[in-house]
Structure 1
């Protein structure tokens, strides 16, 4: 990442500081004064701060089923049959697997895997976890819709059955966290869960901190650090000060406008990676006036996306041309919405809203870097065509509740393609049965069903490409920017690799 950007960009375009100043969004310095961030961590612990709070640790909680912050911790505490390393699927609790015809998958568990309470991981535990997760209606539900069941013919064999070909089952299983069968519905899992991962939970205060200790009997070998401490630091400036002072060892994502504050600092290394994380603003397609595609298209035309991306994010973001990042298989670039306020007004007039209307947008600030600034930039643009947007910046737990109950007009958030597969985003979010944003399209449903049944390859990518085109042209949301994730870390750390899904493997991170 480059250093500080100029106040005025090329061709007279406003730079980030000027852009924020015009919007009335100048940064406020927050000083760290004796807060003791990370001071309570055990000796030798890896002190890692992510930009969102962890609200729950239950692997089957509907509200946090795909929550990014929770997933970071869950991957340390629990394990899955299949894991992802970069773009490759590798064995986890399953030593091997094979497809047996169109509707059966056979997984063989590895020997010697045990839970944190010392009990052995068996095929019966896997079956119980699948059965339970299928009963919980959550953002993961569409991933398991075509799985009809699982059985355990012996302790080390699990057979999954589907109602048709399901090429994405192995990648979906990177999200099925395995716990003891007797604990699948135990309320204690929210605060002090039992898993079989490289760390066990020793302390958890929701939205404040997570404390983990190394599990020495982990089947994959002992983690490099004896403990992991994950404080949530709400103010990024405070977190950056903590990193500079050595109170934490790892911080991500570092907002693009604040990367210069950690670049070139002695003892700190800065790394970045084009991520699978992107911003979108959904329109509630079941709530007027967003039931009318012309209204949605009008709001897309009203926003100068290239200018906002350049001015706010600079090299820390890339303008989107599809409803998922360009690095995800199944991406198909679309024609960007032209910045055309006159066309926007004509579309509103055609929808009977020539005088504009009033609506609202909700988000939580910690959803990603510059969330509030991005929200304000779009709100200002919509004001220019007569659309008044009431900003609703709310705390994360309330945001999750309202999101899942469709209690909103517009919703701004980041999403991460956690599995690196289009099925996780396109297939999971836009199927009519999922009803994530009140959008229903039977033709799209048919395309998504065909894609889910097709093995990985060009045909499957083309189907998801068709889905991208439909979602984009129907303007179910505005997709402005894919983020480049910046990581700031202590140079003495070893084994760290930036992750495109914002979920780095902290078990392999140690120190010199």
Structure 2
């Protein structure tokens, strides 16, 4: 549900402290025609550094944001519903077979026709890429383009998450996608084409005739602007047309500006702190639970984030299908000390916490608050604030004791997070639980929504009770929009569809 702040609601949150990821859009001046009024300039917290939607950055929000503008998918998400994209219909003909009928009027930006052969090549490419999305497709055994508009996908076991997974599977031209340098100026079939791209600097797009209708905007530019204060100043002066999520510690700077409205939406993004369950002493669930009880999570979320986040009650946000609320861990340092003593650690221990500052809002402050609380039970935690590239390397190699980061459940479905990250075969944080594996794999295979919901309820309880990680805060996205912005719809994924946006003169 999207809500709009009135003045009273705005004043309530105006004093909150939160440094945030952001995406800004602004009018571009210049020229002697009306086209400039339909140009947006958008800036994201993390720079767009890769336009390969199947590559190492395939689940990064910046890559996904760009991908949704440049490429098409067979199926799209519209709120809580899955709706046709390039596919006009789909059917599970038996438990291991899905058949898709495709539109016959879809063309790539170079004028070539999109066919089932392109979908086949794209799915095979992401399956074999060895990246975060590849895990969604391990059971795919064959992809057949029976005609230009008929695609058959066969799996080695039932894959009930096929439709929702396909909302992430971007379609590339088979004949060109493996050419050297293709992703410096890639060709897609989405509503915008790439005019220019400098990784980690700027992405320039222009609207094209699209099967879903040509965007009302003429151009979109996404530069990387690292300074939050500069973003807010630009929004205030009218250089920017929109900013999201707006850092709550900056909201007071927008107070009383009649030309700006604020809208909020609960997001798919959340903080977690993983324990490396394959490393001592975190192999012992008593130690993991003690670490959780030692931290005043509710107090930290309230005082640090205010209305910019909500206290989590499960290992996935409440906005995600499969969420099942659990009993919160009560802040109890004495109980934490007793659990450590039971685990043979009455004198505490030394460990470390790694994160990178740009992972999300107030990451540094959140890390320091937890470290401070752990010190009170005799646990000395070395802070390891590292560059993102080093963080990613260590995460993938499991070279960490604890890892603090943000995750976004991009599909809005628990399988994307629980099924992809907590299965023993994924081995992301050293946690192995055969019972959980059975539950997650059954939910992955099942296409019945009710049965999947019950299975994910059981999975949420296991991950929570075993304290595989700590799950403090689900983020709320606040959008600042100037009165000239029309047709903008906030998105829980922080990847809004810009096709219907216009700028009034």
| TM-score, normalised by the number of residues in structure 2 | 0.91
Cα-to-partner distance string for 1:474-512 (whole Å, 9 max, x where unaligned)? 111110111111011222111100111111101221212
Alignment counterpart, residue 3 of structure 1, candidates 10, 20, 35: 10
Q: How does 1:219-238 map to 2 (within 5 A)?
A: 219-238=211-230
The equivalent of 1:24 in structure 2 is none
3-state SS of 1:455 partner: coil
In the aligned structure 2, how far is the partner of 1:208 from the partner of 1:375? 29
The equivalent of 1:310 in structure 2 is 302
Q: How does 1:301-450 map to 2 (within 5 A)?
A: 301-450=293-442
The equivalent of 2:107 in structure 1 is 114
3-state SS of 1:270 partner: strand
In the aligned structure 1, how far is the partner of 2:177 from the partner of 2:355? 31
Check the 8 A contact 2:321/2:453 in 1, yes or no: yes
The equivalent of 1:135 in structure 2 is 128
Deviation (angstroms), 1:381: 1.0
Cα-to-partner distance string for 1:163-186 (whole Å, 9 max, x where unaligned)? 222221011001111001133333
The equivalent of 1:287 in structure 2 is 279
The equivalent of 2:118 in structure 1 is 125
The equivalent of 1:61 in structure 2 is 55
In the aligned structure 2, how far is the partner of 1:16 from the partner of 1:288? 38
3-state SS of 1:361 partner: strand
Deviation (angstroms), 1:55: 2.0
Q: How does 1:87-236 map to 2 (within 5 A)?
A: 87-214=80-207, 216-236=208-228
Deviation (angstroms), 1:5: 5.0
1:503 matched to 2:476? The reply is: no
In the aligned structure 2, how far is the partner of 1:245 from the partner of 1:390? 42
Stretch deviating more after TM superposition (120-129 or 430-439): 430-439
The equivalent of 2:289 in structure 1 is 297
1:463 matched to 2:470? The reply is: no
In the aligned structure 2, how far is the partner of 1:90 from the partner of 1:106? 16
Q: 1:307 to 1:491 in 2, by over 3 A?
A: same
Which blocks of at least 5 consecutive residues in structure 1 are unaligned? 8-14, 21-26, 28-35
Cα-to-partner distance string for 1:106-133 (whole Å, 9 max, x where unaligned)? 1111011111111110111111111111
Alignment counterpart, residue 257 of structure 1, candidates 249, 254, 277: 249
Q: 1:354 to 1:443 in 2, by over 3 A?
A: same
In the aligned structure 2, how far is the partner of 1:83 from the partner of 1:441? 33
Check the 8 A contact 2:16/2:307 in 1, yes or no: no
Check the 8 A contact 2:261/2:480 in 1, yes or no: yes
Q: 1:225 to 1:408 in 2, by over 3 A?
A: same
Q: 1:194 to 1:104 in 2, by over 3 A?
A: same
3-state SS of 1:132 partner: helix
In the aligned structure 1, how far is the partner of 2:44 from the partner of 2:13? 28
Stretch deviating more after TM superposition (200-209 or 495-504): 200-209
In the aligned structure 1, how far is the partner of 2:252 from the partner of 2:481? 14
Cα-to-partner distance string for 1:22-48 (whole Å, 9 max, x where unaligned)? xxxxx9xxxxxxxx9978999342112
In the aligned structure 2, how far is the partner of 1:187 from the partner of 1:56? 14
Aligned length: 487
Q: 1:226 to 1:38 in 2, by over 3 A?
A: closer
The equivalent of 2:482 in structure 1 is 490
In the aligned structure 2, how far is the partner of 1:151 from the partner of 1:259? 52
Check the 8 A contact 2:13/2:248 in 1, yes or no: no
In the aligned structure 2, how far is the partner of 1:67 from the partner of 1:128? 22
In the aligned structure 2, how far is the partner of 1:487 from the partner of 1:50? 13
| TM-score, normalised by the number of residues in structure 1 | 0.90
Q: 1:39 to 1:282 in 2, by over 3 A?
A: farther
Q: 1:454 to 1:462 in 2, by over 3 A?
A: same
3-state SS of 2:166 partner: helix
Stretch deviating more after TM superposition (217-226 or 272-281): 217-226
* Superposition RMSD in Å: 2.3
3-state SS of 1:201 partner: strand
